[in-house]
Structure 1
Amino acid sequence: MIALNEYFDGAVKSLGYNNNGKSTVGVIAPGEYEFGTSTHEVMYIVEGEMQVWLPGEDVWKTYETGAQFEVEADSSFKVKVTVHVAYHCKYGL
């Protein structure tokens, strides 16, 4: 089954699926957002660039096409996006 997820008034949309674990693929429109996590997440940047403020960090870090970052369960992270970003997120790894 494929689930449609929509956040921030449609500025972030993804398709969720299970394939040896939960994953989503999606697009983030330009803007600033804060996401909460309930499980460990690994975010892969498929296309574009985003600045990310991860828990415990004191600076924004830029992630570009081909990069990835991890976020622990039960935390939150912030992103700044200036161009549309395509991503693939894997949960609970």
Structure 2
Amino acid sequence: MITENQYFDGNVKSLGYETAEGKSTVGVINPGEYEFGTANKEIMHVVEGELIALLPNQTEWKSFKSGTSFEVEANSSFKVRAEVQTAYLCQYR
């Protein structure tokens, strides 16, 4: 089953699906700054564009460009900024 997700007044949209490894979403983030909470460990892959992230327990923002990824532990939160529309794959593990 494919699910549709929409957050932050439609500025973040994704399609969710599930594999043998777990749930994942593929989506697009419009320019802006957003804060996400995690229930599971998340592995965020930047497919196209760039995400600038403030990860848990960090004080400095870090850039993640196309082809890179970052991980966020379960039960935490993180912020991302996008300067341009950015495509991502998020795996929930």
Task: Give the shorter-chain TM-score range.
Answer: over 0.9
Residue 19 (structure 1) aligned with residue 19 (structure 2): yes
- Structure 2 partner of 1:54: 55
- Structure 2 partner of 1:74: 75
Q: What number of residue pairs does the alignment pair up?
A: 92
Residue 7 (structure 1) aligned with residue 4 (structure 2): no
TM-score of the two chains, using structure 1 as the length reference = 0.97
Distance 1:39 1:50 in 2: 20
1:28-39 mapped onto 2 (5 Å cutoff): 28-39=29-40
* Residue segments in structure 1 that go unaligned for 5+ positions in a row: none
Residue 40 (structure 1) aligned with residue 32 (structure 2): no
Distance 1:43 1:51 in 2: 12
Distance 1:91 1:50 in 2: 18
Residue 89 (structure 1) aligned with residue 77 (structure 2): no
> What is the Cα deviation at residue 81 of structure 1?
0.6
> What is the Cα deviation at residue 54 of structure 1?
0.1
TM-score of the two chains, using structure 2 as the length reference = 0.97
Distance 1:79 1:45 in 2: 12
> What is the Cα deviation at residue 56 of structure 1?
0.8
